[in-house]
Amino acid sequence: MTAQIINGKAISDMIREEVKAETDKLRQQGVVPGLAVVLVGEDPASKVYVGSKEKACIQLGFYSEVHRLSADTSEEELLALIHKLNEQSTINGILVQLPLPKHINEKAVIDAISVDKDVDGFHPESVGNLVIGDDSLLPCTPAGVIELIKRAGTDIAGKHAVVIGRSNIVGKPVAMLLLRENATVTICHSRTANLKEIASQADILVAAIGRAKAIDSSYVKPGAVVIDVGINRLPDGKLAGDVDYEDCLEVSGAITPVPGGVGPMTITMLMSNTLKAAKKAHGIG
Ligand code: NAD
């Protein structure tokens, strides 16, 4: 048996087509979704991510603003920009690219973003809404994980899902979303005893650890759906996930590759969130 390979690029393209079609319809009603991305400093990876977000906006016909600020921008200056964007009617989504320079309090900045424009889904009120099951903008990578599982044809309800990793940006929200989809959820982390024993009971296994190839086939129940969130740079410059893909290919029922699995979904879900925020701002169902 060889696993179904979950093609994140193809699924992401399909969702972008859907977002584009809806955006074209909205335009006829005079509504153009607008995204503001704020980059502080010169972090090379952040620059690449911001460029990709700008490109996606153009591709989908969104209004896009990119604010590239110098590394010595003060917290006050950044907060003033956020307040301005909160008030600006052409902007429906605000994303501050993380990490921020050390002298800026990340939490103060995230808290300042209007919850209606919180397309990253990191604001405490968005997190609270996610936990209690209210409608909210969902964090992009976790929402992408759920889309991949569903669009690969897996019914989540009643399954045992094991999430390895408990970060605020991936592990915890993925676990909450799986719970919302009626999975039975176990969250594992660096202090979990018997990780292998627990992981190998999973019908759906999500790895968000940040350690290259940490999960080999001995952690995977035959036929399980394996979602690899990890992006790790190997010494030879290549990218690897948290899952040993080659080793798990045979035993899994379905598996995401790295690159080309979860990665392409993140920006697509950001676009989907911006569209959703624009519709809400204009009272469109
Ligand atoms: P993090 O470092 O904040 O969290 C890692 C989690 O893994 C922690 O909760 C920790 O308890 C757990 N962990 C660490 N070592 C472990 C071990 N030996 N056994 C079990 N659990 C262990 O990382 P993060 O921000 O959640 O990111 C995780 C991975 O996902 C990284 O590789 C990151 O690059 C990637 N990522 C990808 C995307 C994407 O768009 N695809 C987005 C965000 C993060």
Which pLDDT tens digit goes with each residue over 250-267? 999 999 999 999 999 999
Q: Is the pLDDT of residue 109 over 90?
A: yes
Give me Rg for the CA atoms of the chain.
Answer: 19
User: Is 231 annotated as ligand-binding?
Assistant: yes
> Which contiguous run of DSSP H or E holds residue 17?
helix 8-28
As a whole number, the mean pLDDT across the chain is: 97
Q: Is the pLDDT of residue 159 over 80?
A: yes
Q: Is the pLDDT of residue 1 over 80?
A: no
Residue 161 burial by Cβ neighbours in a 10 Å radius (0-12, 13-18, 19+)? buried
The pLDDT, as a whole number, for residue 285 is 80
Q: Are strands 225-228 and 232-233 parallel, antiparallel or unpaired?
A: unpaired
Q: Any idea which residue has 């080999």 for tokens?
A: 216
> Which contiguous run of DSSP H or E holds residue 61?
none
Tokens of 80: 């003033």
> Can you tell me the mean pLDDT for 86-113?
98
Q: Does residue 209's CB lie within 6 angstroms of at least one atom of ligand 1?
A: yes
Is the pTM for the entire model greater than 0.85?
A: yes
pLDDT classification of 185: cutoffs 50, 70, 90: very high
Q: Does residue 8's CB lie within 6 angstroms of at least one atom of ligand 1?
A: no
Active-site residue, selected from the candidate residues 116, 117, 118, 120: 120
Ligand 1 atom 34 nearest Cα: 231
Backbone dihedral region for residue 41 (phi beyond 0: left; psi -120 to 50: alpha; all else: beta): left
Q: Does residue 210's CB lie within 6 angstroms of at least one atom of ligand 1?
A: yes
Q: Does residue 260's CB lie within 6 angstroms of at least one atom of ligand 1?
A: no
For residue 139, say if its preceding peptide bond is cis, omega within 30 degrees of 0. Answer: no
Residue 230 burial (CB count, 10 A): 25
pLDDT classification of 20: cutoffs 50, 70, 90: very high
The full length of the chain comes to 285
User: Is 165 annotated as ligand-binding?
Assistant: yes
Three-state DSSP class for residue 135: coil
Residue 169 near residue 193, CB atoms below 8 Å: no
User: CA torsion angle for 49, 247, 222, 156 (degrees, to 10)?
Assistant: 0
Domains and CATH numbers, the chain: 30-114 (3.40.50.10860), 139-263 (3.40.50.720)
User: Is 136 annotated as ligand-binding?
Assistant: no
The pLDDT, as a whole number, for residue 215 is 98
State residue 181 phi and psi, 5-degree precision: -85, 10
Distance from the alpha carbon of residue 53 to the mean position of ligand 1, in angstroms: 22
> Can you tell me the mean pLDDT for 5-20?
98
The pLDDT, as a whole number, for residue 202 is 98
pLDDT classification of 2: cutoffs 50, 70, 90: confident
* Residue 84 annotated to the active site: no
User: Is 233 annotated as ligand-binding?
Assistant: no
For residue range 55-95, what is the model confidence (pLDDT) as tens digits?
999 999 999 999 999 999 999 999 999 999 999 999 999 99
Three-state DSSP class for residue 276: helix
The pLDDT, as a whole number, for residue 252 is 98
The pLDDT, as a whole number, for residue 65 is 98
The pLDDT, as a whole number, for residue 68 is 98
The pLDDT, as a whole number, for residue 255 is 98
> Can you tell me the mean pLDDT for 136-145?
98
Residue 180 near residue 146, CB atoms below 8 Å: no
Distance between the two ends of the chain, CA-based, in angstroms? 44
Query: What CA–CA distance (Å, rounded) separates 183 from 140?
Result: 20
The pLDDT, as a whole number, for residue 38 is 98
The pLDDT, as a whole number, for residue 102 is 97
Residue 159 burial (CB count, 10 A): 19
Q: Does residue 263's CB lie within 6 angstroms of at least one atom of ligand 1?
A: yes
* Residue 53 annotated to the active site: yes
Residue 241 near residue 207, CB atoms below 8 Å: yes
